Structure 1
Amino acid sequence: MKTLLPTSTAGSLPKPSWLAQPEVLWSPWKLEGQQLIDGKHDALRVSLQEQYQTGLDIVSDGEQTRQHFVTTFIEHLDGVDFENRRTVKIRDRYDASVPTVYGPVSRQKPVFVEDAKFLRAQTNKPIKWALPGPMTMVDTLFDDHYKSREKLAWEFAVILNQEAKELKAVGVDIIQFDEPAFNVFFEEVNEWGIKCLERAIEGLNCETAVHICYGYGIKANTDWKKTLGSEWRQYEEVFPKLQQSNIDIISLECHNSRVPIELLSLIRGKKVMVGAIDVATNTIETPEEVANTLREALRYVDADKLYPSTNCGLAPLAREVARGKLTALAKGAEIVRKELEA
């Protein structure tokens, strides 16, 4: 029987301190060679165990085998130079030193497929795997070859489609594309961003999701949120076209955000991964707070289409904080599940 209100994380979970420096994004590995490979697999097992113990229904790798949700994928592609770096403004928000696209981009071999196969062998639960979306990949690079964000995004869409099909073939149940850029570049999203995403999922016979959030709980993002006023209506710009797209699930930020919950009516009919956990605070939500967010969402989303989740990844948080938040998510979903089944 299919679980009602299946819970999951939006993506990353904290890494153990023996693998990488905790509570830091882009944290360098502390191991190398075969030790690093083994260490990543051990971290994946630990991450999976925490998801089991906290009661999540749909599990993931917690992004234990990658340094960063975008660049780790790009590192494995041809046409990108990581030595020749340039400073660009990411998502119109903060400066970062990024690799340069110097020639045609291509993928010579699978990037995450072996890791996904390893995860699949550890669990019988449904698994979700996150990939960076085409627009967010473009926004994390300096393009010295195509000189067109759209052209580069289409190339990435083809590469992502190859990877996604191979992930599906090793048993991934949900493939999620992370597109925080969809909350910033509205004209581009509506002109070509969603079309590129549809190219990335072409021919996939598993569930697909797009994750659109206001970002990790890092200072650059929390400072930006303070400038957004009392209502965050960014989703309003892209929801109408997403509602008409072939994407199955839309993942968004709801808890402690100023997103008017009624915007969910714009994607009625889609499955919705409702962010009911704030990733920008160390305060652990109560199960009742989670339940309240889900009850609000249920005014606009059918119960069989609601997937409780976190607002974004939990990588920058302490492990005990992340564990507490996941427990609250599972318990809050259980409260509402019982109410619906009563």
Structure 2
Amino acid sequence: MKKLLPTSTAGSLPKPSWLAQPETLWSPWKLEGEELLEGKQDALRLSLFEQQQAGIDIVSDGEQTRQHFVTTFIENLSGVDFAKREVVRIRNRYDASVPTVVGAVERRKPVFIEDAKYLRQQTTQPIKWALPGPMTMIDTLYDDHYKSREKLAWEFAGILNQEARELEAAGVDIIQFDEPAFNVFFDEVNDWGVAALERAIEGLRCETAVHICYGYGIKANTDWKQTLGSEWRQYEEAFPKLQKSKIDIVSLECHNSRVPLELIELIRGKKVMVGAIDVATNAVETPEEVAQTLRKALQFVATDKLYPCTNCGMAPLSRRVARGKLNALSAGADIVRRELQG
């Protein structure tokens, strides 16, 4: 029998201090060459172990082998010049110096396939792998070639599809596309964003997910949240289109956010990864707080379609805090599971 309320994380977990600077995004590697390769694999196994210790059901690589959830993928493509940088506004929130698209973007070799095979060898549990979504990828670049966000997004969608098919062949059970940009560029989401996402999942037989959140707990994001008023209704814009899409699972931020949970009604029929852990605070939730969020969500999601999860990645947190949060997620899901099985 399939487990009720299977838990998972949105993706990233903190890296060990011997691999990269702790509690920092874009943290440079402390090792190089063969040592780095081995260090990344050690960190992946450690991350997996911590998820298993906490009782997480659907495990991931904790994104231990990548510096950043978007750029590590882009670094492996041709047509992008990392030395030629421009300052752009990311998700209409903060300025960042980003690489430039100088020619046709192509994937000349697999990016994460070896890492995924390595994770698959370590466990018999279901595994989830996160990739950046097409719209979030274009939002992290300066485009000097296509001169069209939509054209570049379609190029990326095709490239992501190649990678996703190989991840599926490597034994990945759920492929998740991270699309925080879906919470910002509503017209684009509806004009071509969801369609580009469907292009990225074309032909896949494994389960597919899209993760839409309000970002890591970094200052630019927490400042932006302060401007959103008493109700965050951004999901209202993308959900109707996603509900009709071929995506199997929608992963969203709920805990400690001002998202009215009834918006989940708009994706009725989809599986929902409900963010029951706030990643923008060092305070570790109690199992009961997690259970409260899940109980509220169950008013709008069928019990066999609810997957307790974290709001977003936990890369910027300390390992101790992340460990505490994973334990709370598991324990909270367990409380609700017992209530449901009565």
The TM-score bracket by the shorter chain reads: over 0.9
Does residue 199 (structure 1) correspond to residue 199 (structure 2)? The answer is yes
Name the SS for the 2:11 alignment partner: coil
Q: Give the alignment of 1:107-122 within 5 angstroms.
A: 107-122=107-122
Mapped partners of 2:17, 2:43: distance in 1:
10
Residue number in structure 2 paired with 1:231:
231
Residue number in structure 1 paired with 2:31:
31
Residue number in structure 2 paired with 1:167:
167
User: AA paired with 2:288?
Assistant: E
Mapped partners of 1:50, 1:64: distance in 2:
13
Mapped partners of 1:3, 1:58: distance in 2:
11
Q: Give the alignment of 1:71-86 within 5 angstroms.
A: 71-86=71-86
Does residue 216 (structure 1) correspond to residue 216 (structure 2)? The answer is yes
Cα deviations by residue, 1:304-333 (Å, 9 ceiling, x for unpaired): 000000000000001000000000000000
Q: Give the alignment of 1:304-315 within 5 angstroms.
A: 304-315=304-315
User: AA paired with 2:220?
Assistant: A
Residue number in structure 2 paired with 1:266:
266
Cα deviations by residue, 1:68-124 (Å, 9 ceiling, x for unpaired): 000000000000000001110000000001000000000011000000000000000
User: AA paired with 1:94?
Assistant: Y
Mapped partners of 1:45, 1:32: distance in 2:
19
Residue number in structure 2 paired with 1:50:
50
Q: Give the alignment of 1:37-186 within 5 angstroms.
A: 37-186=37-186
Residue number in structure 2 paired with 1:302:
302
Name the SS for the 1:23 alignment partner: coil
Which runs of 5 or more structure 1 residues have no equivalent in the other structure?
none
Scaled by the length of structure 1, the TM-score of the pair is: 1.00
Mapped partners of 1:246, 1:313: distance in 2:
24
Report the CA distance between 1:220 and its aligned residue.
0.3
Report the CA distance between 1:275 and its aligned residue.
0.1
Cα deviations by residue, 1:120-166 (Å, 9 ceiling, x for unpaired): 00000000000000000000000000000000000000000000000
Mapped partners of 1:292, 1:302: distance in 2:
16
User: AA paired with 2:92?
Assistant: D
Mapped partners of 1:191, 1:256: distance in 2:
31
User: AA paired with 1:44?
Assistant: L
Name the SS for the 1:7 alignment partner: coil
Name the SS for the 1:224 alignment partner: helix
Mapped partners of 1:218, 1:124: distance in 2:
34
User: AA paired with 2:320?
Assistant: E
Mapped partners of 1:189, 1:238: distance in 2:
7
User: AA paired with 2:210?
Assistant: V
Report the CA distance between 1:280 and its aligned residue.
0.3
Report the CA distance between 1:201 and its aligned residue.
0.1
Mapped partners of 1:222, 1:326: distance in 2:
22
The Cα RMSD (Å) is 0.3
Mapped partners of 2:192, 2:100: distance in 1:
22
Mapped partners of 2:75, 2:326: distance in 1:
30
Report the CA distance between 1:291 and its aligned residue.
0.3
Residue number in structure 2 paired with 1:320:
320
Mapped partners of 1:97, 1:46: distance in 2:
32
Q: Identity of paired residues, percent? A: 80
Name the SS for the 1:101 alignment partner: strand
Name the SS for the 1:221 alignment partner: helix
Report the CA distance between 1:37 and its aligned residue.
0.2
Name the SS for the 1:18 alignment partner: coil
Name the SS for the 2:335 alignment partner: helix
Residue number in structure 2 paired with 1:4:
4
Report the CA distance between 1:232 and its aligned residue.
0.1
Mapped partners of 2:144, 2:290: distance in 1:
45
Mapped partners of 2:264, 2:8: distance in 1:
19
Scaled by the length of structure 2, the TM-score of the pair is: 1.00
Name the SS for the 1:231 alignment partner: coil
Mapped partners of 1:233, 1:38: distance in 2:
44
Mapped partners of 2:3, 2:124: distance in 1:
14
